[in-house]
Structure 1
Amino acid sequence: MTFLAIDIGNTRLKWALYAAPRPGAALLQHGAVFLETIDALAETAWQALPTPHSMLGCVVAGDAVRRRVEHQMGELWEDLEPRWVVPSTHDAGISSGYDHPSRLGADRWVALAGARQRVLEHAAGGPPRPALVVMVGTAVTVDALDAAGHFLGGLILPGFGLMLKALETGTAGLKVPTGEVVDFPTNTSDGLMSGGANALAGAIERQQRRLRQRTGQEPLLYMTGGAAVKLAPITELPFETVDTLIFEGLLVLQSHRLAL
């Protein structure tokens, strides 16, 4: 009962093949490609993959990209039905407080499902805690779950690249830097990189305080995304980096669908 999980972001497509569609299933193979190369998946990364029994994916890059991925799957696996996550009001033990639940980014909804599973595992049968879920990619999202698994809402911020690009295009003489994150920058490159990193870290720390005040409990903090490695070292809160959080959420959602 192999299961293919697909995460199509704004920059890359990430995929993972699991032995079964359930949390904790063995990871068999995985990979990532830039969106510019997805039209070759059937001839490259996926060519030798065994036919998955089922798949579930999330996509934020748009319908045109999704159709290109579906075409690649069809080239290899004619009987595999593509299924994609559409955020809703309730699913797999989480509920949404978004004004228009279906307009929430699918990746955010999936990450919340993965985080909730981790919250329950951390509780080990005891009372669960609230959680803050941070995804650091092209954009950065900071989403809050209360102890009952209700999504309270979240922030959307520009990621490192977008933030630095805005500074480069909106000011004279500033170029995208190769600087370092330091406490007291003494050159422009370090100043730009440190400013962006601290802006993101400050937003996370502020939301953590708000969630603690709202729930009366110390939240768990999960961080994921390709650029999380840049942000994690300067965040002064205890956190867990979970590179596979989207895939874990897809496993949770698919397991729930099969149980219905």
Structure 2
Amino acid sequence: MTFLALDVGNTRLKWGVYSSPAPGAKLLTSGAVFLENIDRLADEDWRELPEPTHMLGCIVAGEAIRRRVEEQMELWDITPHWAVSTAAEAGVTNGYDYPARLGADRWVAMIGANARMRVQSGNAPKPMVVVMVGTAVTVEAIDASGKFLGGLILPGHGIMLRALESGTAGLRVPTGEVCAFPTNTSDALTSGGTFAIAGAVERMVQHVRQHCGAEPACYMTGGAGWKMAPSMSVQFELVDSLIFDGLLEIAQQRLAHHTPLLNSRSLF
């Protein structure tokens, strides 16, 4: 029962093929392409993949991208299924005002983080802060019962720099270094963006610590997470596979409860 997990973000599509749709399953192969290269997947990157028997994906890139991905999946006899945010799933409760409007990537990452935390803590309840650093940055708060309390959204490094370039006359500088006291414009821009993200994470950790009366476990994921690692002042674990972990958790729960498949946009 091979399982294909897809994470389709705003910039890249990432995939992982696992030995089964269950947490801890062996990763057989993985890869990533930029969204502009999706239309070559069936002829190139996916051509030699082990044929999956189950598939679940997480997508934030929109309907047009979803259709292009599904066209590439026609080389297999498999029905595509996509995760959507619900009121509750796999031990996590959705506290968003309108649960279905929560981004699927945020929801799946929280489920993956919750499963990881419970394994690490011996199933002992613990609050969490979950950070995704990509095109945009999200910082989520989850209490010890698994309830999503709320989260922050802020621009990633690239968006910050482009906004400054478009709104400031003559500001066209190369990427600089992160340092405590920048003395040139390149370093000032890079350091400003990095510390803005780090500050948002630190503030959320403070909020969770105060609200829950306990130190939260902090997990970070996303393509640009490694850039933030040296500049963080709070303890955290960098987990590249957090969305895949969440997809595996959802898949196992759905199969265990024999949840019926509704349509190609349904949860697995």
Counterpart position of 2:263: none
Inter-partner Cα distance in structure 2 for 1:170 and 1:53: 49
Deviation at 1:176, TM superposition (A): 4.4
Please, which of 158, 161, 165 is the counterpart of residue 162 of structure 2?
165
Q: What is the count of residue pairs matched by the alignment? A: 257
Once residues 177 and 168 of structure 1 are traced to their aligned partners in structure 2, the CA distance between those partners, rounded to angstroms, is: 11
Aligned residue runs from structure 1 range 96-111, under 5 A: 96-111=94-109
Q: Distance in 2 between the 1:91 and 1:194 partners? A: 38
List alignment gaps of at least 5 residues for structure 2. Answer: 258-268
SS at structure 2 position matched to 1:221 = strand
Larger relative contact order, structure 1 or 2 (CA cutoff 8 Å, min sep 6): 2
- Tell me how far apart the structure 2 counterparts of residues 119 and 30 of structure 1 sit (CA, whole Å): 24
Deviation digits for residues 54-74 of structure 1, max 9, x if unmatched? 000010000110011001001
Task: For 1:92, give the aligned amino acid.
Answer: A
Task: Trace 1:227-238 onto structure 2 (pairs within 5 A).
Answer: 227-238=224-235
SS in 1 for 2:206: helix
Match of 2:14 in 1: 14
Tell me the TM-score normalised to structure 2 length. 0.95
Aligned to 1:115: 113
> How much has 1:173 moved relative to structure 2?
2.0
CA contact (8 A) 1:133 1:143 kept: yes
Q: 1:259 aligns with which of 256, 259, 263?
A: 256
Which secondary structure state, in structure 1, belongs to the residue aligned with residue 47 of structure 2? coil
Measured in 1, the distance between the counterparts of 2:148 and 2:105 equals 14
Match of 1:153 in 2: 150
Instruction: Give the corresponding residue for 1:30.
Output: 30
Question: 2:78 aligned with 1:80, yes or no?
Answer: yes
CA contact (8 A) 2:84 2:104 kept: yes
Structure 1: state its 5+ residue gaps. none
2:172 to 170, 175, 191: 175
Distance 1:176 1:23, change over 3 A: farther
Task: Give 4+ residue runs of structure 1 displaced > 2 Å after superposition.
Answer: none
Per-residue displacement from partner, 1:26-66 (whole Å, max 9, x unpaired)?
A: 00000000000000100011001121010000100001100
Q: TM-score, normalised by structure 1?
A: 0.98
- Please tell me the root mean square deviation across aligned C-alpha atoms, in Å: 0.7
